[in-house]
Chain A
Amino acid sequence: MDFDFTREQVMLRDVTREVLARESPTIAVRRWMEDDRGYDPELWHRLAETGLLGIAVDEAHGGQGLGMVELALVLDEMGRGAYPGPYFASSVLAAGLLMDCGDATPQGLYLTGLADGSLVGTVAISDDGLSWGPSGVTLSAQADGDEFVLAGAKRFVPWAHVADVILVAARTRRDEDPTHGITVFAVERGAPGVTVVPHRSIDRTSRSADVSFDGARLGRESIVRDLDMGWPLVELTLARAAIGASADMLGAARRCLQMSVEYAKIRQQFGQPIGAFQAIKHMCADMLLEVENSHAATYYAAWALAAGAPDARLAASVAKSYVNEGARKVCGSAVQLHGGIGFTWDYDLHLYFKRAKGLEPLYGNTEFHREQIVRAALDAAAIPVLA
């Protein structure tokens, strides 16, 4: 029974923190917020050299062969630093899905590139319905001879505008059971009939785009793993995404708490630091509670996924639903505690406030995950930890 990180994990966290502090201070973050591409390719290569891009990629493909706890540690730091770049999309979602799939062809084509930073990948899951369940995968992929014709759109695809390869969940067959008939395709940049339209949203540090398909034709070699049997891959990716997003939001909340406590110690009103007032002190105590609980939820879930624990999916839903609200409360309290300066563009607080908010509705909003949790609770016998 050990909830602490190993020495290697602590080193990984420290290295990430150090690289981001040096190469991605908020002045740089703000510069990339104005950039159309949205991230620093030089820093991307630096992250590759440090081994961060291939954390979850096996050693055969140039990675480190580590797991979800290590990914969460890096994302925690990236949230804390509001790092702008496709790490979550590429190293967590795309590399994770390819590692899971056990299919040598797409692994051989892309994994080495994702680990060494020469390729950026992403995963396209949600459609118009944004439902995050299997029935939400509606983008049609119609068989036509040896090819499939894709028609429809994927929404809120992270960093699709810079992706070299997009792993797309599409419906190849209609079935009474919505988990059947889903296929994952690897779609490369510039494929005919594929249009990527970047969004502009409040959080300029994590980008997304709509990806629409108008008669795009894909050969069988683009199928990742098995025709019609792609849902388990997508589901696992969603769990990883929920945990990863929790870690990122947690990092943003940590930073907001830290800034708030520092500010409450130095800001004087009525002749004393505002942190001496219970109204402020208690707000900070509530913020710490949310950060500590979010930490416990995120890393429990990360460990459960990495260890293949029977409650791994439940834990992912617990983490995402809890951190969604916890991080929002912490970041919101930070703005309140700072007063006018917290509402000022030039002050950095809003970077983290927006960072956490941006991830809240994605990869399952709070309501979606609470529903998953109820289903698990009703089926408690199937989950030893709840029995």
Chain B
Amino acid sequence: MDLTYSPDDRAFRSRTRAWFERHRPRPLETLEDRRAWHRTLYEGGYVGMGWPREFGGQDARPLEQAIVAEEIARANVPGTINGLGIGIVGPTLIAHGTENQKRRYLRKILAAEELWCQLYSEPDAGSDLASLKTTARREGDGYVVNGQKVWTSQAAIANFGVLLARTDASVAKHAGISYFVLDMHAPGVEVRPLTQITGSADFSEVFFTDVRVPAENLIGDEGQGWTLAQTTLGFERGGNLLARVTRHRSVLQQLIVAAGHLRPDGTPALEQSLVRQKLGQMFAELEVLRYAGLRALSRLEKGQRPGPESSVDKLYYSEMDKRHHELIQEILGPYGQLTEGLASELTLDTTTSLGVPADWTYSYLYSRAGTIYAGSSEIQKNIIGERVLGLPREPRADRVAPTTARSNGSATGKGA
């Protein structure tokens, strides 16, 4: 066991921190502002660091990626605007795309010249994603797509989406799915933004009516879509936990400031033992997340791919976030619910993991999303129970396949 950072890593952190002190974004009001900030990050070498060099990355180690993610969180600035493109689409193309596909898309993902979304979830296919109904019918030298997706983050600004669609209804549900690149501006694609419980509209419904997709937009082989989607190919997973810790710690530190000003019974809340107990619990749970993050990072540094045990971390941080925002609301009382008119010493200034500016109310509401997106807590517990602990699968009504093919996947998450 050695949990210290090497001198090289410490020097890298200092350089990174200094860079973020020199480079601050202007208020990011428009899409162009966000693209411009992304380009600044890209030119600084802080986007797609984990990608192979030949595709514009730096082959950076997980630890270096973690340090950058932490420093971005520490500087309280937004990260990339193309998180899905950088984290999921690019790595998938690098692993499974044709030379043409790589040449066509990768550079523009890195530079955020083209933004991406993930067209996975459907109204009747959430946790049970493999039961999706959107079809891609072969016709001439391409496909015709019909159906509907939902909860698609960034759909309204995306140029392309990665689409899971059914190409063969005659085989087991997992086996009939294919993985496509879909032009979000093609005729027949309609995006209808959905307002979330936070009041903002970061996700959308997407409708497809006879959308023509050229055959060259198929990634991998027909019927391979489920496997591609299941393979979590991210090169960028090193730093997520530690960056979350950094961002969350800043929230708790601002809570301490607020609790010093609130005087519910004439004495500062910060001096009341009930409040201190809650704070102590939150800082302890957050430190435990940091230790778990170091442990995950140590595995990645040894070249171990994140397996089903990463479900434990996802379950923990998302449930923790929810629990903490409930405790925070208990401490702040009705002040925690104000969306306007909160005294400045009581305010929260942070950004969510998606780079959206957040106050107490937004953070409280947004915390409800974490235990739903990317595989709900219940799905994570199934994965942990079945794939880590080896417990028997639950009886399922959909195990009998339309053909002799047997399905082999468990239900998985969707990217919200």
Q: Which residues does A use to contact B, with CB under 8 Å?
A: 1-6, 9, 69, 261, 264-265, 272-273, 275-278, 280-282, 284-286, 288-289, 292-293, 296-297, 299-300, 303-304, 307, 309, 314-315, 317-318, 321-322, 367, 369-374, 376-378, 380, 386
The answer on a CB contact under 8 Å between B389 and A285 is yes
| 22 A–B pairs (Cβ distance < 8 Å), ordered by A | A1-B4, A1-B5, A2-B1, A2-B302, A6-B1, A261-B389, A265-B390, A265-B392, A272-B392, A281-B394, A282-B381, A288-B389, A289-B316, A296-B295, A297-B287, A297-B291, A317-B284, A369-B280, A370-B277, A373-B280, A378-B256, A386-B249
B-chain residues with CB within 8 Å of residue A321 when the two chains form the complex: 280-281, 284
**Shortest Cβ distance from residue A128 to the other chain B in the assembled complex, whole angstroms:** 21
Distance A116 CA – B177 CA, assembled complex (angstroms): 67
The answer on a CB contact under 8 Å between B276 and A284 is no
The answer on a CB contact under 8 Å between B276 and A370 is yes
B338 at interface, CB cutoff 8 A:
no
**Shortest Cβ distance from residue B269 to the other chain A in the assembled complex, whole angstroms:** 12
B283 at interface, CB cutoff 8 A:
yes
B-chain residues with CB within 8 Å of residue A289 when the two chains form the complex: 312, 315-316, 384
The answer on a CB contact under 8 Å between A314 and B287 is yes
5 more contacts with CB within 8 A, not counting A265-B391, A284-B391, A321-B281, are A285-B388, A300-B294, A303-B3, A321-B280, A377-B283
The answer on a CB contact under 8 Å between B281 and A370 is yes
A-chain residues with CB within 8 Å of residue B298 when the two chains form the complex: 1-4
Looking at B4, B5, B389, B392, the one whose CB has the most chain A CB atoms below 10 A away is: B389
User: Residue of A at shortest CB range from B3?
Assistant: A303
Q: How many residues of B contact A (CB 8 A)?
A: 51
In the complex, which residues 343-380 of chain B have their Cβ closer than 8 Å to any Cβ of chain A?
A: 378, 380
B-chain residues with CB within 8 Å of residue A299 when the two chains form the complex: 1
User: Residue of A at shortest CB range from B297?
Assistant: A1
B-chain residues with CB within 8 Å of residue A278 when the two chains form the complex: 378, 381-382, 394
Given A3-B1, A303-B1, decide whether A277 and B394 contact each other with a Cβ distance below 8 A: yes
A-chain residues with CB within 8 Å of residue B1 when the two chains form the complex: 2-6, 9, 69, 299, 303
The answer on a CB contact under 8 Å between A275 and B385 is yes
Distance A261 CA – B302 CA, assembled complex (angstroms): 29
B-chain residues with CB within 8 Å of residue A1 when the two chains form the complex: 2-6, 9, 63, 294, 297-298, 301
A-chain residues with CB within 8 Å of residue B285 when the two chains form the complex: 322
In the complex, which residues 87-140 of chain B have their Cβ closer than 8 Å to any Cβ of chain A?
A: none
Distance A272 CA – B391 CA, assembled complex (angstroms): 12
**Shortest Cβ distance from residue B150 to the other chain A in the assembled complex, whole angstroms:** 25
Is chain A's binding surface mostly helix, strand, loop or mixed? Answer: helix
User: Residue of A at shortest CB range from B62?
Assistant: A1
A-chain residues with CB within 8 Å of residue B6 when the two chains form the complex: 1
Is chain B's binding surface mostly helix, strand, loop or mixed? Answer: helix
In the complex, which residues 230-283 of chain B have their Cβ closer than 8 Å to any Cβ of chain A?
A: 249, 252-253, 256, 273, 276-277, 279-281, 283
A-chain residues with CB within 8 Å of residue B393 when the two chains form the complex: 276
The answer on a CB contact under 8 Å between A288 and B312 is yes
B-chain residues with CB within 8 Å of residue A282 when the two chains form the complex: 378, 381-382, 385
The answer on a CB contact under 8 Å between B3 and A285 is no
Shortest beta-carbon contacts, A-B, top 9: A370-B280, A281-B385, A275-B391, A285-B381, A285-B384, A3-B298, A300-B291, A296-B291, A3-B295
The answer on a CB contact under 8 Å between A284 and B395 is no
Distance A283 CA – B23 CA, assembled complex (angstroms): 47
Distance A374 CA – B279 CA, assembled complex (angstroms): 6
Contact of B294 among A3, A69, A317 (CB under 8 A): A3
The answer on a CB contact under 8 Å between B394 and A371 is no
Distance A140 CA – B52 CA, assembled complex (angstroms): 68
The answer on a CB contact under 8 Å between A322 and B284 is yes
In the complex, which residues 191-244 of chain B have their Cβ closer than 8 Å to any Cβ of chain A?
A: none
B386 at interface, CB cutoff 8 A:
yes
The answer on a CB contact under 8 Å between B388 and A288 is yes
Looking at A285, A318, A370, the one whose CB has the most chain B CB atoms below 10 A away is: A285
B382-410 interface bits toward A, Cβ cutoff 8 Å, 1 = contact, 0 = none: 10111011111111000000000000000
B-chain residues with CB within 8 Å of residue A296 when the two chains form the complex: 288, 291-292, 294-295
Distance A87 CA – B380 CA, assembled complex (angstroms): 39
A-chain residues with CB within 8 Å of residue B394 when the two chains form the complex: 276-278, 281
The answer on a CB contact under 8 Å between A284 and B3 is no
Q: Which residues does B use to contact A, with CB under 8 Å?
A: 1-6, 9, 63, 249, 252-253, 256, 273, 276-277, 279-281, 283-285, 287-288, 291-292, 294-295, 297-299, 301-302, 309, 312, 315-316, 378, 380-382, 384-386, 388-395
Distance A275 CA – B287 CA, assembled complex (angstroms): 32
A-chain residues with CB within 8 Å of residue B253 when the two chains form the complex: 377, 380
A-chain residues with CB within 8 Å of residue B276 when the two chains form the complex: 370-371, 374
**Shortest Cβ distance from residue A227 to the other chain B in the assembled complex, whole angstroms:** 34
Contact of B386 among A5, A281, A293 (CB under 8 A): A281
The answer on a CB contact under 8 Å between A264 and B295 is no
A-chain residues with CB within 8 Å of residue B315 when the two chains form the complex: 285, 289
The answer on a CB contact under 8 Å between B256 and A300 is no
Distance A367 CA – B285 CA, assembled complex (angstroms): 14
A-chain residues with CB within 8 Å of residue B386 when the two chains form the complex: 281
Distance A6 CA – B1 CA, assembled complex (angstroms): 7
User: Residue of B at shortest CB range from A385?
Assistant: B290
A-chain residues with CB within 8 Å of residue B378 when the two chains form the complex: 278, 282
Contact of A276 among B280, B299, B302, B392 (CB under 8 A): B392
A-chain residues with CB within 8 Å of residue B385 when the two chains form the complex: 275, 281-282, 284-285
The answer on a CB contact under 8 Å between B384 and A288 is yes
Distance A318 CA – B297 CA, assembled complex (angstroms): 20
B-chain residues with CB within 8 Å of residue A303 when the two chains form the complex: 1-3
Distance A265 CA – B391 CA, assembled complex (angstroms): 6
A-chain residues with CB within 8 Å of residue B4 when the two chains form the complex: 1, 307
The answer on a CB contact under 8 Å between B381 and A293 is no
Distance A373 CA – B380 CA, assembled complex (angstroms): 30
Distance A289 CA – B314 CA, assembled complex (angstroms): 10
A-chain residues with CB within 8 Å of residue B389 when the two chains form the complex: 261, 284-285, 288
The answer on a CB contact under 8 Å between A318 and B5 is no
The answer on a CB contact under 8 Å between B2 and A370 is no
A-chain residues with CB within 8 Å of residue B273 when the two chains form the complex: 371
Distance A378 CA – B280 CA, assembled complex (angstroms): 11
A-chain residues with CB within 8 Å of residue B5 when the two chains form the complex: 1
**Shortest Cβ distance from residue B297 to the other chain A in the assembled complex, whole angstroms:** 6
Distance A224 CA – B108 CA, assembled complex (angstroms): 70
Distance A264 CA – B394 CA, assembled complex (angstroms): 12
Distance A318 CA – B285 CA, assembled complex (angstroms): 8
Distance A2 CA – B6 CA, assembled complex (angstroms): 11
Distance A280 CA – B393 CA, assembled complex (angstroms): 12
The answer on a CB contact under 8 Å between B280 and A292 is no
**Shortest Cβ distance from residue B43 to the other chain A in the assembled complex, whole angstroms:** 28
**Shortest Cβ distance from residue A279 to the other chain B in the assembled complex, whole angstroms:** 10
Looking at A284, A372, A373, A386, the one whose CB has the most chain B CB atoms below 10 A away is: A373
**Shortest Cβ distance from residue A368 to the other chain B in the assembled complex, whole angstroms:** 10
